[in-house]
Amino acid sequence: MGEFARQLRLMVFLAATLCTCVTSEAIGLTLHATCCQPKQAATPTAATVPPDKLLEDFRILRGALEEGHPGIYRYTRKTDLDQCFDQAEKALDRPMNVYEFYRIVAPAVANVKCGHTVVRVSPELHKGKPRLPLVVRLLDDKIYVLRDLSGGGATLAGQEIRAVNGVAADKIVQTMLASTPGDGDVQTARLRRSGSNFATGLIGLFGLESPYTVTLRDAKKGREHTVKLEGIDAAKLQESTPSESATLTFLDDGKIANLKINRFGGTANKKDLKAFFRDSFTEIDKKKSGVLILDLRDNGGGADELGKLLLSFLIDEPFQYYDDLVLNALDFSFGKYTGQNRALPANLMQRQPNGKYRMVKHPNWGTQQPSTPTFKGKVYILINGNSFSTTSEFLSHAHARKRATFIGEESGGGYYGNTSGPGALLTLPNTKLQAYVPLMTYYMAVRDYKAASHGVVPDYPVKYTIDELREGRDKELELALELARKNGG
């Protein structure tokens, strides 16, 4: 991004790229059931903090959100959020360790309904805590084992989890879904995040630790059974990510182009994504492909400019990408809790009559131009609840312009924008709880979408069974190819 990116690197607040997605590691502990469920099992390895110090930390965090988060009331009314914060504060009436404190704070913060706003226990406290050795997926509010890493004899894959260490599965699901950070009312994102962070959530939410006693239902045998599993190192549960940021393939003698974008950043085919996008659309044009399948599943975001660039190859007239980019201020009183307390660069901003600021030097600000060669054929876009942040911005424009047919499940980010960009990572002084506060609210230049608290809802919804996931079925791609070939692809 040239000078813009250089200026961003100078900012003391965390923002390697704009609109960066919240990673699984970041949200792994941001879970709880409701605003008002303060008492959970204690974790003896964490130091106890007296009530006055807990209150101090909570007020620092609440003040930071109210001062710095420009979209704090985008989805939740101030009166409702104030009530939730007040209830959480009243629950801090006894000495607690950081886990107990977290279990009160996290649900209050989750009620901001911002997928980029995160609280977590310091990762240092989790080192050495073995995790449940099962990779799970949440389907229809039930927990299924996708992969069994326990090393036992008969695999547990495909079975439904009914309880862990005596905690019923429905309580686990309810707790995770109600408390996982996400934009607006998008449940697909919360389902996927809860599944990805299931093992860590058991520790953070319920204090459940190894060995794990798991009750499962084996549908094939029609019975329930219980197993005892030793935990494994957290690293063994991490799912691999594609090394290439994007790939382009062709089907049916070039009639159908399949562009898979894993993230808006990094490289593809030894090129940065700007060059890769331009080369890809040039190749699509040369092959005279009539259909483009654009796969944005599990793309958590990245650099804003790349989302706009992708859109520019699909439309043939100048366009506005953002309606506004709002920050509350250039410096904040909570800066001292980030370890660096310097203002955001004023030369990127323009002060508004209401005292807030607009990011006027953003590369996506103002009138944007289409790119050539423009693809004018049929577009099918594959989406799911992990299609978030920069990806969701692109999706909103493609949807609002009726430029594509959408296949999969509701996308993970809010249709009209998000709060992300430059942000501040706070470490609260007494509990060392960490909180990420995004500092810029994005307003997309799209109109007339009635479900304002949701993402893009697919034209063709796709659901999976656990057996289909285990088999590696790709039902979205199968359907896209069927539609493409039926429509002359």
Q: Where are the domains of the chain?
A: 14-121, 134-237, 246-421+435-486
What homologous superfamily is domain 246-421+435-486 in, according to CATH?
2-enoyl-CoA Hydratase; Chain A, domain 1 (3.90.226.10)
134-237 with 246-421+435-486: one CATH topology? no
Q: Are 443 and 326 in contact (CB under 8 A)?
A: yes
Per-residue b/e over 102-136, b at no fewer than 16 CB within 10 Å? bbbbbbbbbbbbbbbbbbbbbeebbeebbbbbbbb
Q: Are 388 and 24 in contact (CB under 8 A)?
A: no
What class is the 134-237 domain?
mainly beta
List residues bridging with 260 in a β-sheet. 247, 295
Could you read off the pLDDT tens digit of each residue along the chain, which spans 489 residues? 343 443 443 343 334 333 333 333 333 332 222 333 333 344 334 789 999 999 999 999 999 999 999 999 999 999 999 999 999 999 999 999 999 999 999 999 999 999 999 999 888 887 889 999 999 999 999 999 999 999 877 899 999 999 999 999 999 999 888 889 999 999 999 999 999 999 999 998 899 999 999 999 999 999 999 999 999 999 999 888 899 999 999 999 999 999 999 999 999 999 999 999 999 999 999 999 999 999 999 999 999 999 999 999 999 999 999 999 999 999 999 999 998 778 899 999 999 999 999 999 999 999 999 999 999 999 999 999 999 999 999 999 999 999 999 999 999 999 999 999 999 999 999 999 999 999 999 999 999 999 999 999 999 999 999 999 999 999 999 999 999 999 765
**Exposed, middle or buried: residue 488 (CB in 10 Å: 0-12, 13-18, 19+)?**
exposed
pTM over 0.95: no
- The token duo for 84 is 């939730």
